[in-house]
Structure formats: structure tokens, C-alpha cells
Amino acid sequence: MTDRAEIGVFGGSGFYSLLDDVREIKVDTPYGPPSDSFFLASVAGRAVAFLPRHGRRHTIPPHKINYRANVWAMRSLGVKAVISPCAAGSLQRHVKPGDFVVCDQLVDRTRHRVDTFYDGPIVTHLSSAEIYDPTLRALAIETIRDHGIPHHERGTIVIIEGPRFSTKAESEWFAAAGWEVISMTQYPEAWLCRELGMAVVNIALITDYDAGVHEGTEAVDAQSVLEVFAQNAERIQGVVLDLIGRFPADLDSLGARAALAPTRGDGHTITPEDVRLFETGL
């Protein structure tokens, strides 16, 4: 096996611990070290790279994750499409703990995170209207349905800075806006994937009712999150590994890299001499 992969997974050790012939490698980046080593394996004939975003022992809090290093390293291995599952809270009564949500939109409420690769000198503006890839979302929905798991085919995920959970006032605000899901890691992770031309899909595993603002629900705490996640870990592992086998053979057909072409925003004509970040150093 070479140090290359075509599909990436941001998630814990539970995914690759189920596989045979897993190889651990370290990847250096211009942005410092990623959260951990990468773990390379073959799944359904596809070369896959796994990275535990919080570190293999969950020692990195969400606001301290080096998202740029993680995403750059993933792309440097050749990855073109990413599965980005996460534990999440519910903001709506009908989205219940144990449900899966295949999010189609996100709202960024973080404050202190470095969230772009495009710091110049080439000014770049990439559309974020559809961060999550619709083709991969459809495949994720199909896979979850085939596994018989209660799920929601769309949802907006609001990402908060962490490590604290929401106040009741914040939770009421988010719920009133109509958003369904709350978490701490999808931004800037998913966005940075798009900046480097990788398609991305999120599956949110609902563990709690956030601040417990709905009648009959309790405010989230860390213990309850861990308990529900542990109860459902096997289900998300099975879905992710099955989903990998359903990815399109031609990942370029998803168009994530092609979307980077018309993004120069400094008013100059694009010429063959332009050197774009996503084409260099990878």
C-alpha cells in the first residue's frame, strides 16, 4: 500500500479498528502537526485515510483542533472526498437522541478559529452556498435508510466555539431560527475541505437536546453525550464503512475541485501563470 488515499474520514479510532491491514503514517504540513497520525486502509476496494480529529485519546478540545493542518494533510494524501461524522445536539423536539441527520447547511457561530487557506497574495472567493455535496448526501441518506436507522434527510447545523455548551438563551435563539443541529467541529473543517477541492458529507449523530429548552428534556452534559454516543458508535461505524463502498468511482465527477476554477477575486485576468494554493505543495 502506498501513502495515498482517495477518500478521507474524520473520526475516532472505532472506524479503523474494525479493519485489517491498517497502516499508521505521520504527515507534516505547512500549518503544523495534524491531530494525530493518519491510518490508511482499504475499504470496499477504496483507499481510505482515517484521522481522529480530537486525537486518538480525545485529548484535543474542539476549539484547539488544528483544522488547517488536518485538512491539508488529508488533501496531500490525494483525498478527493471526505466523510465528516460528528456527535451533535438537537435543537428541535422531533430530532431525537439516537437519530442521524444528514446536514445540508451550516451556520458558523465560532469566534477564534483560523478558517481559511486563502490569505493571499491571490485573492480567492469560493461559494459556500452548498458546502455539503448533494451527491454524497444522497448516498449517505440511502445508506442510513438501508441500515434501518431513524434519520432526517436534511438539517442545518450551527457550530459553536466550545468547549462550553450553549446557555438556555442561546439554545432558544438557535431553535427559534429553525436550525436542527448543534455541534463544535464542522466549522471550519467542512469549509476547509471545500477550499482544497474536496467534496464533503456530514452525518450528525444526535446525542442530546442541547440546553433542554423543550418541555420534558434535560440540559446536555458531557456524560450523557458519551453514553449515547457509545450506544450508537457501532451504527455510525457501520454506516460510514458501507457508505465508502457506495462512493462514485470517479470522485472528480463530484465537481469539488472544478468549483475552485472561477474563484479569483482580485479583478485580474486569470492566466496560465497563476499559481493556486490548492495546486501547490500537495
Q: How confident is the model at residue 279 (pLDDT cuts 50, 70, 90)?
A: low
pLDDT value, residue 176: 97
pLDDT value, residue 240: 96
Whether the predicted pLDDT of 264 surpasses 80: no
Compute the average pLDDT of residues 196-209.
96
pLDDT value, residue 212: 81
**DSSP code of 219?**
-
Q: What is the pTM of this model?
A: 0.92
36 catalytic? Reply is: no
Query: How many other CB atoms are found less than 10 A from the CB of residue 165?
Result: 19
Q: How confident is the model at residue 18 (pLDDT cuts 50, 70, 90)?
A: confident
d(CA 161, CA 154): 23
Whether the predicted pLDDT of 268 surpasses 70: no
Point out the catalytic residue in the list 99, 104, 208, 242: 208
Domain limits, the chain? 7-265
Whether the predicted pLDDT of 275 surpasses 60: no
Whether the predicted pLDDT of 47 surpasses 70: yes
pLDDT value, residue 271: 61
> What is the SS3 assignment for 100-155?
EECCCEEEEECCCCCCCCCCCCCCECCCCCCCCCHHHHHHHHHHHHHCCCCEECCC
d(CA 59, CA 163): 12
pLDDT digits (tens, 9 = 90+) for 69-84: 999 999 999 999 999 9
pLDDT digits (tens, 9 = 90+) for 133-175: 999 999 999 999 999 999 999 999 999 999 999 999 999 999 9
Question: What is 7-265's CATH number?
Answer: 3.40.50.1580
Sequence length of the chain is 282
Point out the catalytic residue in the list 210, 221, 266, 274: 210
Q: 64 φ, ψ to 5°?
A: -110, 0
250 catalytic? Reply is: no
Whether the predicted pLDDT of 266 surpasses 90: no
pLDDT value, residue 32: 97
Region of residue 20 (phi > 0: left; psi between -120 and 50: alpha; otherwise: beta): beta
pLDDT value, residue 248: 98
Compute the average pLDDT of residues 117-142.
92
d(CA 264, CA 276): 9
In this structure, is the dihedral angle defined by the CA atoms of residues 138, 192, 54 and 46, taken in order, positive or negative?
Answer: positive
Q: Beta partners for 206?
A: 88
Whether the predicted pLDDT of 123 surpasses 60: yes
pLDDT value, residue 154: 98
